Amino acid sequence: MADLADLTVATAGERLATGEASAADLLDAVIRRASLTEAELHCYVTIDHDGARRAAEESDHRRSRSESRGPLDGIPLALKDNFCTRGLETTCSSQILSGYRPPYDSTVVARLRDGGAVIVGKTNLDEFAMGSSTENSAFGPTRNPWNPERVPGGSSGGSAAAVAAGSALAAFGSDTGGSIRQPAALCGVVGFKPTYGLVSRFGLVAFSSSFDQIGPLARSVADALTLFEAVAGHDPLDATSYPGTVPEARPSLETGVKDVRIGLVRELSGEGYEPAVTAATNDMVAQLEASGAIVSEVSLPSFAIALSAYYLIAPAEVSANLARFDGVRYGLRVTGETVEEMMARTRAEGFGPEATRRILLGTYALSAGYYDAFYGQAQRVRTKLINELANVFEQVDVLVSPASPTTAFELGAKTQDPLAMYLTDVCTIPANLAGTPAISIPVGLDADGLPIGFQVMGPALGEARLFQVAAEVERLATFDHRPEILAAAGDRL
């Protein structure tokens, strides 16, 4: 029998339902896996042994009375450490929040607890989710389970690596410019960013509020949908929460892609794309066509300048959102003679280099005299991109591209060159600018045995179409590879 730590959420749910496994067994399996892999991978900032144990016992107790709160009841999940969790340290992998214990649960966490999920712990991220490799964490990097010399991607690298390594059955992350999809691609798991507004941001520590969106990282497309369904839906505590009904995507998992119009994005190919990534993308497109999809190449000229717009708007919002970390209200305080000195010292010591860089860039972009040339211009690009996308979605049902131009790169390869790091988000950022849904599905390995992710993008609220195509991609790819580290750990299981 397969190790319980390697099950999908769906299969684990069946085992729970038949009594073949208990929530405590599932938790034991992922904790055991963590004990074998954490020293090397460092997926977690905090493992909540006591809280998780209690939640698993409560779930088993419910089940012994033939009660269940749904598909996540008793399932061990991991959460990126930028979700507020009541009483449990929430750091955003920043020194400035060290010791901060939120007095409340974020809406997503509250919904997961209501659904009986077992929250194993909080996963590592780039500080305040700014980065693409998880190397910007104040607590040290996470490593990629497929090759510990490589990064797991970021910023939700801890969540992606935990799902790939088996120290959680699935996880949640946040995606501002690609932080769910890119690490999912680099770690060989599924990562889904929903339409902006479908999942409440209440209690997600704000990075760039007009882009931030919460979503799942999972081992299958169906699991990703299950996690999304568990947390999606209107929340009066988030002013940007979508008040309508959440699109129903479950039935489309089985319908195939016959006559679905698929557009391959011309701008997301060419220079900077690894040949293995391009080949895997083209191969999947050919397979989709053979399965009945109508494929065409489409051009979205503003995709080529989306990255520049993002790196003005996101830092601008950072400069406002991170102003709250002043040494008075949260986490770290470094004392000084005056209040100003205390705040300046706290911020100088508490923020790492990337957070500092973004605050400075954003403050500059918003300053009088530069506002229109930088921030204003970037917002115009954003509007142009939204219009281009709306037009293209008149002609095609979904867009496809690589999820990342490269597979996992080596630790340290891009840390000295912020621009090179920013360029890794080139495929994922357009969907954030437009607030549209997008998903990455693993489709193969490169010659070094590293996973390749395929991205499907849909129109706003087009989750049904998105999952329809994603499910077919998953069936065609039959990606059933496993990281070697698990084979090694397997000897000790």
- What residue ranges bind ligand GLN (CB under 6 A)? 129-132, 155, 174-179, 207, 314, 425
Residue closer to ligand GLN (CB basis): 85 or 132: 132
In the complex, the smallest distance separating the C-beta of residue 314 from ligand GLN, rounded to whole angstroms, is 5
Catalytic pick among 132, 155, 174, 220: 155
Residue closer to ligand GLN (CB basis): 257 or 403: 403
150 within 8 A of 105, measured Cβ to Cβ = no
Cite the beta strand spans of 260-350 per DSSP E.
Answer: 261-265, 294-298
147 within 8 A of 451, measured Cβ to Cβ = no
Annotation says 66 is catalytic: no
Secondary element (H or E) of residue 457: strand 451-457
In the complex, the smallest distance separating the C-beta of residue 357 from ligand GLN, rounded to whole angstroms, is 10
Catalytic pick among 179, 200, 241, 269: 179
Annotation says 68 is catalytic: no
Residue closer to ligand GLN (CB basis): 174 or 269: 174
Residue closer to ligand GLN (CB basis): 307 or 476: 307
User: Would you state the structure tokens that stand for residue 460, as one six-digit string?
Assistant: 């706003």
Q: What angle do CA 119, 474, 300 make, to 5 degrees?
A: 100
Residue closer to ligand GLN (CB basis): 155 or 319: 155
422 within 8 A of 349, measured Cβ to Cβ = no
Annotation says 80 is catalytic: yes
Alpha-helical segments (H) within 145-248: 157-165, 181-187, 221-231
In the complex, the smallest distance separating the C-beta of residue 7 from ligand GLN, rounded to whole angstroms, is 28
Distance, CA of 117 to CA of 194 (rounded, Å): 20
In the complex, the smallest distance separating the C-beta of residue 230 from ligand GLN, rounded to whole angstroms, is 22
Q: How many residues does this entry show for the chain?
A: 493
**Cα-Cα-Cα-Cα dihedral sign, residues 446, 7, 250, 186:** negative
In the complex, the smallest distance separating the C-beta of residue 77 from ligand GLN, rounded to whole angstroms, is 19
Residue closer to ligand GLN (CB basis): 37 or 436: 436
408 within 8 A of 450, measured Cβ to Cβ = yes
In the complex, the smallest distance separating the C-beta of residue 312 from ligand GLN, rounded to whole angstroms, is 12
In the complex, the smallest distance separating the C-beta of residue 152 from ligand GLN, rounded to whole angstroms, is 13
Catalytic pick among 59, 80, 193, 414: 80
In the complex, the smallest distance separating the C-beta of residue 448 from ligand GLN, rounded to whole angstroms, is 23
Residue closer to ligand GLN (CB basis): 137 or 179: 179
Residue among 14, 19, 52, 21 nearest 4 (CA):
21
Distance, CA of 246 to CA of 47 (rounded, Å): 32
Residue among 386, 387, 385, 400 nearest 465 (CA):
400
Residue closer to ligand GLN (CB basis): 324 or 481: 324
How far lies 210's CA from each of 314, 315, 382, 437, 439, in Å?
A: 8, 12, 11, 14, 19
**Cα-Cα-Cα-Cα dihedral sign, residues 331, 335, 341, 347:** negative
First to last CA, the chain: 12
How far lies 150's CA from each of 42, 154, 408, in Å?
A: 13, 12, 6
Active site residues: 80, 155, 179
